[in-house]
Structure 1
Amino acid sequence: MEDRLGALPFAAMSAAQQVAAQAVIDGPRGALYGPFVPLIRSPELMTAAQRMGEYLRYRSAIGTRLTELAILVTARHWSQSVEWAIHEPIAREYGISDAMIAAIAARERPPAMAPDEALVYEFCIQLHQQQRVDDATYAAALAAFGEHGVVDLMGINGYYTFLAMVMNAAQTAVPPSPATPLP
């Protein structure tokens, strides 16, 4: 597959694109990569998206480990290889087990999860597969994470779905990664 919206040289970008790109480069990501490569074509959209993503990825109310788990479930649901390549090693670094990662990649329920991981997994699976979350799972998430955490968890699913749609349509090239590619 050919990357439909590949990297633009910084010098070839419009002034608005350069400002938006520099904001990403100067932020915690440190470079313009992944979904921001196609999104730079719409600098205002990219700026809004990257600000939301910066919050959800680095400061969500559910913490980095559970955020990365939610990202993997979302990436797998959308068969999004770029997000998987970026986030699989990060998830592992933050304590998501190899067995969980392999099960998610295989579209199987992980065999052993901590209670908070099982809750996030179930919440995400329901949201993606049924487009809603049942009352029992919602109540458990509310008890575990509070309203702030539940809203952030919904936001993580929605944000990474948005990025998956952008990159799937743009056929964004998968970066080199130590991650095991999605089947």
Structure 2
Amino acid sequence: MARLDYAASDLTGPDGDIAERIRARRGGGLTPLDRMLLHSPPLAEGWNGLLGAVRTASTLAADVRELAILRIAALNGADYEWRAHEPIGRDGGLTDDDLAVLRGEREPDALAPRLAAVLAYTDAMTTRVTVPDDVFAELRDHFSDREVVELTVTVGTYNLVSRFLVALEVGSERDREAA
């Protein structure tokens, strides 16, 4: 089970309005992540705006965005995040071989150069926080200033997501077994 009970999905008043905006972004339903966040409606609303922008207002190609998200999920042990994003990544063009690299089952040189640059940048931001100059230079060979900013925000945001999910055991194996 998650470490906290999930908030009710039938909120009313201002909190219900926030839940409705989240449902609208998601296409109708609330996820376990949303229901955990709704314990703090103001934070849930801010989260919804940030994630909506990262997912739908960015110019990053889907394979780039999802490679970063899936790698973060793998590095941080966020299984719920991996399960949610693997189909999106596949739809965005990631292959079985790409996913094997993200899980650490294959070497990064199996990736196309632009994806390998994203992987190295994501790894540095996630595991060391600081990014070595050579890693940044390789990224710059493939991406515009805007794309670098959007990738940096995406990596930072999904590290937040994964840490929230893991710390509160949202959508954990125990949670699924109890359902």
Give yes or no for TM over 0.5.
Answer: yes
- Is the helix fraction higher in 1 or 2? 2
Hey, what's the Cα distance between the residues in 2 that align with 1:33 and 1:85?
A: 13
What corresponds to 1:74 in structure 2? Answer: 72
Q: Is the 8 A contact 1:57 1:64 kept in 2?
A: no
User: Which AA in structure 2 matches 1:94?
Assistant: G
Report deviation, 1:58. 2.2
Decide whether aligned partners of structure 1 residues 139 and 44 sit closer, same or farther in structure 2, where only a CA change above 3 A counts. Answer: same
Q: Is the 8 A contact 2:6 2:32 kept in 1?
A: no
Report deviation, 1:111. 4.5
What SS does structure 1 have at the residue aligned with 2:143?
helix
User: Which AA in structure 2 matches 1:133?
Assistant: V
Which of 126, 129, 153 is 2:127 aligned to? 129
Hey, what's the Cα distance between the residues in 2 that align with 1:109 and 1:57?
A: 28
Q: Is the 8 A contact 2:71 2:122 kept in 1?
A: yes
Report deviation, 1:35. 2.3
User: Which AA in structure 2 matches 1:52?
Assistant: L
Deviations 1:86-137 (A, max 9, x none): 0011111111110121232236534411121111111101111221111122
Q: Is the 8 A contact 2:7 2:39 kept in 1?
A: no
What corresponds to 1:118 in structure 2? Answer: 116
Report deviation, 1:34. 4.2
What corresponds to 1:150 in structure 2? Answer: 148
Report deviation, 1:6. 4.1
Normalised by the length of structure 2, the TM-score is: 0.86
Hey, what's the Cα distance between the residues in 2 that align with 1:40 and 1:109?
A: 40
User: Which AA in structure 2 matches 1:25?
Assistant: R
What corresponds to 1:3 in structure 2? Answer: 2
Q: Is the 8 A contact 2:7 2:36 kept in 1?
A: no
Hey, what's the Cα distance between the residues in 2 that align with 1:73 and 1:41?
A: 28
After superposition, where does 1:157-168 map in structure 2 within 5 Å? 157-168=155-166
What corresponds to 1:105 in structure 2? Answer: 103
User: Percent same amino acid among aligned pairs?
Assistant: 25
Hey, what's the Cα distance between the residues in 2 that align with 1:138 and 1:124?
A: 11
Hey, what's the Cα distance between the residues in 2 that align with 1:63 and 1:34?
A: 27
Gaps of 5+ in 2: 174-179
Q: Is the 8 A contact 1:62 1:145 kept in 2?
A: no
Gaps of 5+ in 1: 176-183
Hey, what's the Cα distance between the residues in 2 that align with 1:132 and 1:107?
A: 25
Deviations 1:59-96 (A, max 9, x none): 32222110000000111111001110000111111111
Deviates further, 72-81 or 133-142: 133-142
Deviates further, 87-96 or 103-112: 103-112
After superposition, where does 1:8-47 map in structure 2 within 5 Å? 8-11=7-10, 13=11, 15-47=13-45
Q: Does 1:53 align with 2:51?
A: yes
Normalised by the length of structure 1, the TM-score is: 0.85
Report deviation, 1:9. 3.1
